[in-house]
Structure 1
C-alpha cells in the first residue's frame, strides 16, 4: 500500500501539472486534506510528510483530535468544510482557521456574534448552491449579492465562494459558474474540487481543493 508521503507527493505533482496547463502558479492553489472520520494515527503521517492544511466536517470530531495534534504541529491550519450548526458557531470560531460552509443568514448572524465576542476574525467562504440542490445547503445564486452585503455589514470576512457540484454530472460547468460569480463579486477564493475532479477545478480557477480519498484512501 502506498505510504501517506507517496500519496501526498503524487497529489502535489498532479496539482503542479494542472497549474502548469492552466498557466497558474502552484502557490495559488491550497491543498486541503479532508481528514474527517480519520483517526490521529492516519493524520500524523501526512503531517510528517509536510501537509499542513486539513479539513474537518464536524466541530465535535475536530475538537477531539486537533488540539493535541496542534501542540505537536503548531503551524497546521484547520478548515471546516462541512455544514455548521449555528449553535456550534462559538466552538467553530475558536477552533478553525477558515470556514468553507457559510450557507444561511442565521449562521452568518451567529458567526458575526461569536467573532465579535472572541475578538477573532475567521475567513469564510460562502457556499453556493450551483446545482440547485437545497438538500446540500448553500445560497441560491440570485441571493448571493444580498448575503455579501449582509456579511460586509456584520464584518464577517468573506474571502471566496465554495461549491459541491451534483453527483454524476460533469463538474466543469459548475466550477466555471463559481469562478464567474467570484470574479463578478471581486472575491479571490474558490473552494471547489475534490478527489475525483480537482484537476478540472484547478484549470477553472480553484484556489482551494478539498481532497480526502486521494490522500487517505477509501474509508
Structure 2
C-alpha cells in the first residue's frame, strides 16, 4: 500500500457515495514513524498529518515545517490539560476535546493567545471505560457547553471498538453531529475508511497503510 493507493481508494469511495473527493481530508498518521518515512510522504506532496502525542509532534514538526512551511498537523490523540498551551501552538486542529476541564483550559488559552485551533469533540460511541471521549448521551450538553465558551467546535471524532461493526459507530457520530449542526466528522482509519466516507466522514486517519507498520520507540 502507498499514499497513491490510498488516494485512489478515497476517490473510489467518494464516487460510490456520490461525494466530492475534495470534501474528504486525509490525515497521514505519522506517530511513531521514522523521520525518513515522514519525509518521503512530504516529498510526494502530502501536507496534512496526524499525531497522537504533543511531545512527539514537538520533536519533529517544527523542523519539518522549516522545509515544508505549508505542512499542517492535527492532534488526534488524548490531550492533557497541562499540554494544552503547547498543543495550541503546534496544531492546526485538535480532534480530542473530551471533557469539561480541557474545554475550559482551551477557552482560557484562546482568550490569552488570541487564537485557537479548530476543535473536534471526541465521542466514546462504544461507551468503553478504557477509552477517552464524552458519552453519546452527554454529547449534546457538552457541545453546548463548548459553544458557550466560544470555542471553535468544527465537528466530532470517534474511534469505534475494534470488535464491533464500525459503520454503526460512524452512523451514530453522524447523527449526533447533524442534530447539533456540526459539519466535521473525523472518523475512519486504515481498515474502515471507505465505510466512514460512505457515512459522511470529512477527515480520515490513515497511518500504517501509508507509512508501513509502526516502529516502536527505543526504551
What range is the shorter-chain TM-score in? over 0.9
Residue pairs, 1:194-209, within 5 angstroms: 194-209=189-204
Cα shift at 1:39: 2.5
Aligned to 1:169: 164
Cα shift at 1:86: 0.5
SS in 1 for 2:95: strand
Task: State the distance in 2 between where 1:59 and 1:26 align.
Answer: 30
Cα shift at 1:179: 0.8
SS in 1 for 2:94: strand
Aligned to 1:52: 47
Aligned to 1:148: 143
Aligned to 2:31: 36
Deviation beyond 4 Å, 4+ runs, structure 1: none
Task: State the distance in 2 between where 1:113 and 1:40 align.
Answer: 34
For structure 2, list consecutive stretches of 5 or more residues without a partner in the other structure.
Answer: 215-219
Q: Does 1:110 align with 2:94?
A: no
SS in 2 for 1:55: strand
Cα shift at 1:191: 0.2
Q: Does 1:21 align with 2:16?
A: yes
TM-score by length of 1: 0.96
Asked which structure has the greater RCO (Cα within 8 Å, sep 6+), the reply is 2
Aligned to 1:11: 6
Aligned to 2:59: 64
Task: State the distance in 1 between where 2:88 and 2:178 align.
Answer: 27
Task: State the distance in 2 between where 1:116 and 1:134 align.
Answer: 33
Q: Name the Cα RMSD after superposition.
A: 0.9
SS in 2 for 1:75: coil
Task: State the distance in 1 between where 2:101 and 2:143 align.
Answer: 14
Task: State the distance in 1 between where 2:45 and 2:131 align.
Answer: 32
Q: Does 1:185 align with 2:180?
A: yes
Q: Does 1:78 align with 2:70?
A: no
SS in 2 for 1:54: strand
